[in-house]
Amino acid sequence: MNKHIEKAMELRNETPMVNNCAQTIMRVYADELGIDENLCAAIGCNFGGGMKCGGTCGAITAGLMVLGAKGVDSPMAVQQFRKGIAEKHDGMTDCADLLRANAQKGGDKKTHCDKMIQEAIELVDKLLDEKQ
């Protein structure tokens, strides 16, 4: 498991769990972005739960924020990131749709969201490696 995923799972397994998907990803990359973890958590606070309204998954939005902050902003890279996640989830990228589909399969929310975080981090790391 890579260091970003390890830290993300540590954050997600804290009791009580206080980090949504977006906050988790933002905090994982805080040092590399030169930003305080608390500021990263504040930046990500309104993106969890699909911007708190079931829209685009917080793991996706945070992944795109990290990529942008690291200089990966080409339309092709953004499309590759979104498509990489959507392909694993029947084309879905909205939190409400993803959670509904997960529940229909009998899955629980935390496990699903943890998996989304891991997938987003893997894609972020892959795109950052390709940039270098």
50 vs 8, 67, 93, CA distance in Å?
18, 18, 9
Contact present, 39 and 47 (Cβ < 8 Å)? no
pLDDT at residue 132 greater than cutoff 90: no
| pLDDT at residue number 25 | 98
Q: What is the pLDDT of residues 28-78, one digit of tens each?
A: 999 999 999 999 999 999 999 999 999 999 999 999 999 999 999 999 999
Give the pLDDT confidence score for residue 99 in this predicted structure. 97
pLDDT in tens, 84-103: 999 999 999 999 999 999 99
CA distance 36 to 5: 19
> Domains of the chain: which residue ranges?
3-131
pLDDT at 131: 83
pLDDT of residue 117: 98
- Amino acid sitting at position 132: Q
